[in-house]
Amino acid sequence: MNNKLIYQFSPSNTEGDKSMTDLLGGKGANLAEMSLLGINVPPGFTVTTEVCNYFMKHGNVPDNLDEELKQSLKNLEKTTNKIFDSDKKPLLLSVRSGGKISMPGMMDSILNIGINDKNLESLSSDFNDERFALDSYRRLIQMYGNVVLNIEMDRFEAILDNKKRIDGVENDNEFNPDQLRWIIDAFKTTIERFSKKSFPQDPNIQLNGAIEAVFKSWSNKRAVTYRKINNIPDEWGTAANVQSMVFGNLNEKSGTGVAFTRFPSTGKNKLYGEYLMNAQGEDVVAGIRTPFPIGMHEKNTQPSLEEVNSALYKEIKDIADKLEMHYKDVQDIEFTIEDSVVYILQTRSAKRTAQASVKIAVDMHNENLLTKEEAINMVDANQITSVLHPQFKESSERDLFEKGLNASPGAAVGVIVFDPDTAELEAQKGRKVILVRDETSPEDIHGMFSSVGILTTKGGMTSHAAVVARGMGKPCVAGAEKLIIDYKNKTISNSSLTLEEGDLISIDGSTGEIFVGEIEMESATLSDEFNTLMTWCDEYKKFSIRANAETVVDTSKSLEFGADGIGLCRTEHMFFEGERILPMREMIMSDSKQGRTRALNKIIDFQISDFKEIFKLMKEKPVTIRLLDPPMHEFLPKSEVEIAELANSTGVSTAYVSEVLSRINESNPMLGHRGVRLGISYPEIYKMQVSAIFKAAYSIYLEDKTKVNPEVMIPLVMNSKEFKKMKKIIVSTIEKLEKELNFEFNYLIGTMIELPSAALNSSAIGENADFFSYGTNDLTQTTLGLSRDDASKFLAEYVEKNIFEVDPFVSVDENTVGKLISSSVTDGRNSNTSIKIGVCGEHAGDPKSIQFFNSLDIDYISCSPYRIPTARLAAAQAQISIG
């Protein structure tokens, strides 16, 4: 533990600065920094986070705190020319919490410390206002009783309410001195009755109690929950900021307010905020009086400070400018005016919308305030996707139904439907529907496609619903585990409310919230600043960004968002759609190669036209096509009706269909007969797919002489023999076609590295592969032994209990999956200098993972179309971060 427990800040002696947020918390560090800048901050001192940690561990503050506290108070008395614990000119203090990261409203503050029965009179005369002094004392006793002595706030409020009722007083601030004296007595009695203690008359005891209470509040339930949700470590602790009081409620030349140096919702460069004269911060919060705007703005309904008192406005504006310039970021400032003197109580980086964030970054570079690197770093890569999606209007009213995982960003309003067919039907009628399922499967795709949003009660961030929704750019709330769907009666219920099919709901995929009824929306347009920022990013990022896309819509979106190619085109969707599923099922039912080939011949033309559409859009840009991957039974019917249908259409008995179903059913399909294993067992499937790819390529060439660049990807390879065997089959299929057409194709043949064994065999596989693409989803599943479909049951608990810092399906688990990828890249490059290496798992859209990928020698990453801007930004930031 650091020896120094307290850091002072005052015009004459400031010991901290803005870099010391670990020790002093964000508020304390910035109070020190502002003091150093010569900004008028009420002087005071900060008790460090280490003291908090000591307190949490031992249940008491360190012995030497008392000595430092005394010395600090002495210094503060000198600076303020007031005396703590004195009957004359008493020094009043506030004690406020302040962790490294702001946790607004989560912890406690106590104001007016230092008042007691004896100095009350001196205070009245110092401020020339008896009522003010008594009210301040009343507030101190109330806060102290609640925060330090844990007496419920209601007990004090009840006394105030009674008194108001009995004496016919409307508002708290209308009590006269006698009434306040009566209240103070009643408060003291309440404290004695419920805490078995008197309200302490010794200001030192008040101060110590307040500091300890702030430390304790770090562990209150609200704060603990907030930290869990926001991934803030418990070990950080909070500082306690002890500051001389200033009073915005002293007179009409006093006041209080909050200002943003730019508009936090749009980014517009104009001081923005609210203030109230003759008021304290809590008055603004309590909403008793409506605050006035600070800056002039067309939407203002009341006169602004700028108009009413331009001198004061200018004073605040100058301070705001100075702070923004100094911090090189938009500031969120709290100020108090005491008798015409402006004091700044807090400054911090302002929260802002994604739109604002982009505009501010670009503007600040153009204003020469930031370098291009700084501007890029200023935008949150995760947040930026929300500029692409329509959103709920901020002002709209909301009735929360439940909260799930924010699986795919954006907002959607629609009527509930419980099955994909109804979704499609209703959508055809022009209705906006939200598909609500326990979980989705590839057979639901048409329903998902027809819906404006998807809600599931099971599955995590990388469940089928989540992945597909992100791919489609549709909002999705996944894993809302508390909701119960009753498919039979077509209802969905939380603990108190049951909604039916056809009821309107609104879902926010950026927050995971589900609302009852309709919430007003606004759509997104990509700003010039957005495009500028993206262009800047491309100057820095060291690898290219591709998209995971297999439909025309996705492919177009990818290009719109700046994809350099397609890194993962999943072909299984091509087997599910519409009438194609029938020959696919016929193929699976067949027990001969001839039968299978006959069935496949019915699908090939569909696949050719699918590939053509994609090639037509992508032109020469590389398109990585993954050959059929999922286990066969995903394609088979489940219901008895469907089974009967299939039996009928293929001319076999339903018993035979059922037998095939049970034969190919698997205990763990993820580890079963899928990927290249199907290709090895039924080479005719892969041959058909390869033929379709290159026939499409040739047809594009015939149309406009474009020579496309397909990259054929073999999934789920375990070792080099398996890869070589499959590659040979593919190459001979291509070469046969080349001979037939007298044409030479561009192509690469590579593999997905998605099993630990493939990663460990990279050296041997690399010798023959033209490219590696890391399938980080599956690699995470097998490396950690975690099924992404099942893990939602306990993964949240694992993150909560800090066994994982982050969900490993969200950010690559660097110690394990990362280690495998890293050594695989090295092995692959060593065995094949010309190998192309990419990443195509969901992690490719996650900034933290992108930071990791940037440390590897790779050529591209490939993510969902809507994550491309995130990826471009994060890739640039990652590269900037290493200089």
Would you please indicate which residues are annotated as catalytic (active-site) residues?
464, 840
* DSSP secondary structure letters along 129-168: -HHHHHHHHHHHHHHHHHHTT---HHHHHHHHHHHHHHHT
The reply on whether position 590 binds a copy of itself by CB under 8 A is no
Instruction: Output the smallest distance, CB 678 to a copy of itself, in A.
Output: 9
The reply on whether position 671 binds a copy of itself by CB under 8 A is yes
Which range of residues in 115-123, 189-197, 225-233, 748-756 is near a copy of itself by CB under 8 A?
748-756
Which range of residues in 447-455, 546-554, 573-581, 758-766 is near a copy of itself by CB under 8 A?
758-766
DSSP-derived secondary structure letter, 83: B
Instruction: Output the smallest distance, CB 486 to a copy of itself, in A.
Output: 10
Q: For the sheet with 331-338, list strands across it.
A: 292-293, 272-277, 255-260, 331-338, 341-349
Pick 96 or 727: Cβ nearer a copy of itself? 727
List, in order, residues 6 or more apart from 151 with CB less than 8 Å away.
Answer: 145, 190, 191, 194, 195
The reply on whether position 784 binds a copy of itself by CB under 8 A is yes
Among 495, 667, 833, 834, binds a copy of itself (CB under 8 A): 667
How would you label 389-401 residue by residue, b for 16+ Cβ within 10 Å and e otherwise? bebbeeeeeeeeb
The reply on whether position 444 binds a copy of itself by CB under 8 A is no
Instruction: Enter the tokens of residue 882.
Output: 């290493």
The reply on whether position 716 binds a copy of itself by CB under 8 A is yes
Pick 109 or 761: Cβ nearer a copy of itself? 761
Among 212, 274, 789, 807, binds a copy of itself (CB under 8 A): 789
Instruction: Enter the tokens of residue 718.
Output: 């375990």
The span from the CA of 379 to the CA of 364, in Å, is 12
Instruction: Output the smallest distance, CB 462 to a copy of itself, in A.
Output: 13
Among 181, 573, 598, 673, binds a copy of itself (CB under 8 A): 673
Among 101, 224, 652, 670, binds a copy of itself (CB under 8 A): 670
The reply on whether position 781 binds a copy of itself by CB under 8 A is yes
Tell how far CA 118 is from the center of its chain: 52
Which range of residues in 57-65, 515-523, 606-614, 808-816 is near a copy of itself by CB under 8 A?
808-816
Pick 545 or 749: Cβ nearer a copy of itself? 749
Instruction: Output the smallest distance, CB 820 to a copy of itself, in A.
Output: 7
Which range of residues in 3-11, 80-88, 546-554, 663-671 is near a copy of itself by CB under 8 A?
663-671
Instruction: Output the smallest distance, CB 826 to a copy of itself, in A.
Output: 14
Residue pair 377/370 in contact by the 8 Å Cβ criterion: no
Nearest to 718 by CA among 761, 674, 774: 761
Pick 164 or 725: Cβ nearer a copy of itself? 725
Among 754, 770, 842, 846, binds a copy of itself (CB under 8 A): 754
The reply on whether position 419 binds a copy of itself by CB under 8 A is no
DSSP-derived secondary structure letter, 666: -
Instruction: Output the smallest distance, CB 445 to a copy of itself, in A.
Output: 18
The reply on whether position 490 binds a copy of itself by CB under 8 A is no
Instruction: Output the smallest distance, CB 791 to a copy of itself, in A.
Output: 8
The reply on whether position 756 binds a copy of itself by CB under 8 A is yes
Nearest to 138 by CA among 154, 152, 159: 159
Residue pair 770/841 in contact by the 8 Å Cβ criterion: no
Residue pair 564/546 in contact by the 8 Å Cβ criterion: yes
Q: Which of residues 124-143 bind a copy of itself (CB under 8 A)?
A: none
Pick 654 or 787: Cβ nearer a copy of itself? 787
Instruction: Output the smallest distance, CB 711 to a copy of itself, in A.
Output: 22
How many residues bind a copy of itself, per CB under 8 A?
Answer: 50
Pairing mode, strands 238-244 and 44-47:
antiparallel
Residue pair 737/695 in contact by the 8 Å Cβ criterion: yes
Instruction: Enter the tokens of residue 224.
Output: 């603990």
The reply on whether position 783 binds a copy of itself by CB under 8 A is yes
Instruction: Output the smallest distance, CB 444 to a copy of itself, in A.
Output: 15
Among 153, 803, 830, 857, binds a copy of itself (CB under 8 A): 803
Nearest to 244 by CA among 95, 27, 42: 42
Nearest to 292 by CA among 266, 257, 260, 316: 257
Map residues 717-736 to x or -, x wherever contact with a copy of itself holds by CB under 8 A. -xx-xx--x-----------
Residue 131's CB: how many other CB atoms inside 10 A?
A: 16
How large is the greatest C-alpha to C-alpha distance in the chain, in angstroms? 105
- Cα-atom radius of gyration of the chain, to the nearest Å? 33
Pick 279 or 729: Cβ nearer a copy of itself? 729
The reply on whether position 782 binds a copy of itself by CB under 8 A is yes
Pick 477 or 817: Cβ nearer a copy of itself? 817
Pairing mode, strands 44-47 and 6-9:
antiparallel
Pick 250 or 817: Cβ nearer a copy of itself? 817
Residue pair 264/330 in contact by the 8 Å Cβ criterion: yes
In sign, the C-alpha dihedral spanning 96, 97, 101, 105 is negative
Pick 498 or 649: Cβ nearer a copy of itself? 498
Pick 701 or 804: Cβ nearer a copy of itself? 804
The reply on whether position 660 binds a copy of itself by CB under 8 A is no
Pick 680 or 741: Cβ nearer a copy of itself? 680
Query: In which region does residue 25 sit, left (phi positive, over 0), alpha (psi from -120 to 50) or beta (all else)?
Result: left
Pairing mode, strands 491-493 and 498-500:
antiparallel
Residue 318's CB: how many other CB atoms inside 10 A?
A: 11
The span from the CA of 220 to the CA of 210, in Å, is 15
Pick 400 or 803: Cβ nearer a copy of itself? 803
Among 532, 757, 826, 831, binds a copy of itself (CB under 8 A): 757
Query: In which region does residue 537 sit, left (phi positive, over 0), alpha (psi from -120 to 50) or beta (all else)?
Result: alpha
Instruction: Output the smallest distance, CB 860 to a copy of itself, in A.
Output: 24
Nearest to 55 by CA among 267, 228, 269, 208: 208
Which range of residues in 18-26, 359-367, 594-602, 671-679 is near a copy of itself by CB under 8 A?
671-679
The reply on whether position 402 binds a copy of itself by CB under 8 A is no
Question: Partners of 83 in the beta sheet?
Answer: 90
The reply on whether position 656 binds a copy of itself by CB under 8 A is no
Among 511, 787, 826, 831, binds a copy of itself (CB under 8 A): 787
Instruction: Enter the tokens of residue 761.
Output: 């065999």
Tell how far CA 85 is from the center of its chain: 47
- Where on the chain is the footprint of a copy of itself (CB under 8 A)? 664, 666-673, 677, 680-681, 716, 718-719, 721-722, 725, 754-757, 760-761, 764, 778, 781-787, 789-791, 793-794, 797-798, 801-804, 813, 815-817, 819-820
